């Protein structure tokens, strides 16, 4: 992955809606995001509608997630929409190629194997038997006496016959008739997390979602990412800022540092530089899976609450008790 796209991806992860989406996948409530068929609107993604609380931007959001490398997609189905009213509530009409009427009767063609006579099924029908109109023999065993030789259509309007009708659409909403030429024909996808997004997500990018929810139920006003102005005039960004609701407003800042094995003291030093200037009431650093020895010493020296957790759920539990103290 190129540097710029990696940067874009990290920017997307900071979006609360993206975190909600990823957390759905990571918590294994969701393996593949499949569209759900709705007879009037066509395909919908109710999970995304709920995250966005507005179904009109779902398509755009999924496109952004795909372009941004968060989701990958697979062709799931194709769908036809009415060009006049955009409805998916359509029926298919097989129409007469001569007069365009959809009042077309479809019959099976039968061939009497012995004499070679071919005609539509109704010409063979005599009460509940099949009898050859040419040689008058009764046809009893399919595949031996006779076989189906295709279909034959007759137009009830112009009386002409043909073997291949022309498919057309009829909109049940606005009653428009239209052909494939005029139809809106769209790809419908199912989605999964990209391997990159899945890895990032497991490393803790989506930690903030349950933490935000927890802090909000405790009456904190939470921003993610959150910003504090420092004495120097610099604006500092934290993964999360939480301001308590009581009379004496106290501000907690939280940063997350993740690594494949051990988090280095660099993240402690970087956080200290910010809190030295921004002076929050409390600073908390979450290290996943653990902090190195130097980092531990520095955190205690700098009065940074260090939470070490081997995975997401332990981190959430530790952070909860840390905030509660």
**Beta bridge partners of residue 118, listed in sequence order:** 111
C-alpha span between 169 and 106 (Å, rounded): 18
> Rounded to the nearest whole angstrom, what is the least distance from the CB of residue 165 to Zn ion in the complex?
10
For residue 178 the two structure tokens come to 């239209």
User: In the set 157, 177, 179, 318, which binds Zn ion (CB under 5 A)?
Assistant: 157
Interaction pattern, residues 217-256, with Zn ion; x per rule: CB under 5 A? ----------------------------------------
Instruction: Report d(CA 242, CA 216) in Å as an integer.
Output: 9
CB atoms within 10 A of CB 325: 6
Confirm or reject binding of residue 158 to Zn ion (CB under 5 A). Answer: yes
274 binds Zn ion (CB under 5 A): no
Which residue's CB is nearer to Zn ion, number 113 or number 273? 113
**Rounded CA separation 77/38 (Å):** 13
Cα–Cα distances (Å) from 49 to 43, 55, 61, 71, in that order, read 12, 5, 10, 16
173 binds Zn ion (CB under 5 A): yes
Closest among 141, 1, 12 to 64, alpha carbons compared: 12
Q: Which is nearer to Zn ion, 112 or 282 (CB)?
A: 112
Residue 309 touches Zn ion, criterion: CB under 5 A: no
Contacts with Zn ion in 176-195 (CB under 5 A)? Answer: 176
- Applying CB under 5 A, what is the total number of residues that bind Zn ion? 21
Q: Is 169 in the site for Zn ion (CB under 5 A)?
A: no
For residue 158, the minimal CB distance to Zn ion (Å) is 3
Work out whether 171 is an interface residue with Zn ion (CB under 5 A): yes
- Closest separation between CB of residue 145 and Zn ion, Å? 9
Beta carbon nearer to Zn ion, 84 or 264: 84
Residue 99 as a binder of Zn ion (CB under 5 A): the answer is yes
d(CA 313, CA 25): 15
Contact stretch for Zn ion (CB under 5 A) within 69-77, 167-175, 214-222, 226-234: 167-175
Asked whether position 149 contacts Zn ion by CB under 5 A, the answer is: no
Backbone angles phi, psi at 159, to 5 degrees: 80, 0
Distance in angstroms (rounded) separating the CA atoms of residues 153 and 170: 20
Taking the CA atoms of the chain, what radius of gyration do you get in angstroms? 33
Is residue 315 a contact residue for Zn ion (CB under 5 A)? no
Nearer to Zn ion, 7 or 114 (CB): 114
Looking at beta carbons only, is 62 or 90 nearer to Zn ion? 90
Residues 82-117: b if buried by 16+ CB within 10 A, e if exposed: bbeeebbbbeebebbeeeeebebeeeebbbbeeeeb
Cα dihedral sign for 197, 201, 203, 208?
positive
Please, which of residues 102-131 interact with Zn ion by CB under 5 A? 112, 115, 117
Closer to Zn ion by CB, 65 or 82: give it: 82
87 makes contact with Zn ion (CB under 5 A): yes
By CB under 5 A, tell whether 155 contacts Zn ion.
yes
Least Å from the CB of residue 55 to Zn ion: 19
Report d(CA 83, CA 260) in Å as an integer: 52
- CB-nearer residue toward Zn ion: 135 or 270: 135
153 vs 148: CA distance, rounded Å? 14
Does position 164 interact with Zn ion (CB under 5 A)? The reply is no
Binding site residues, Zn ion, CB under 5 A: 82, 84-85, 87, 96, 98-99, 101, 112, 115, 117, 132, 134-135, 155, 157-158, 171, 173-174, 176
């Amino acid at each position: 992955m190129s540097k710029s796209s990696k940067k874009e991806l990290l920017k997307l992860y900071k979006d609360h809606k993206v975190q909600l989406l990823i957390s759905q996948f990571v918590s294994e409530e969701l393996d593949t995001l499949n569209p759900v068929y709705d007879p009037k609107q066509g395909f919908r993604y109710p999970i995304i509608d709920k995250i966005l609380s507005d179904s009109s931007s779902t398509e755009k959001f999924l496109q952004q997630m795909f372009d941004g490398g968060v989701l990958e997609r697979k062709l799931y189905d194709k769908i036809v929409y009415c060009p006049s009213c955009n409805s998916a509530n359509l029926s298919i009409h097989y129409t007469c190629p001569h007069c365009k009427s959809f009042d077309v009767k479809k019959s099976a063609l039968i061939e009497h194997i012995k004499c070679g006579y071919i005609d539509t099924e109704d010409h063979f029908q005599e009460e509940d038997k099949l009898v050859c109109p040419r040689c008058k023999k009764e046809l009893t065993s399919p595949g031996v006496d006779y076989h189906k030789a295709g279909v034959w259509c007759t137009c009830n309007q112009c009386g002409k016959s043909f073997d291949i009708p022309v498919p057309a659409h009829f909109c049940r909403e606005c009653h428009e008739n239209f052909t494939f030429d005029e139809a809106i024909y769209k790809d419908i996808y199912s989605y999964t997390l990209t391997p990159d997004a899945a890895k990032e997500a497991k490393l803790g990018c989506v930690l903030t979602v349950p933490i935000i929810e927890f802090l909000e139920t405790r009456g904190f006003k939470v921003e993610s990412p959150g910003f504090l102005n420092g004495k120097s005039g610099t604006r500092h960004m934290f993964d999360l800022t939480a301001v308590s609701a009581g009379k004496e407003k106290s501000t907690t800042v939280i940063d997350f540092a993740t690594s494949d094995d051990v988090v280095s003291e660099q993240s402690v030093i970087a956080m200290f530089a910010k809190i030295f200037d921004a002076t929050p009431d409390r600073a908390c650093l979450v290290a996943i899976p653990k902090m190195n020895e130097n980092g531990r010493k520095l955190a205690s020296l700098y009065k940074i609450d260090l939470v070490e957790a081997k995975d997401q759920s332990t981190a959430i539990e530790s952070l909860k008790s840390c905030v509660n103290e």
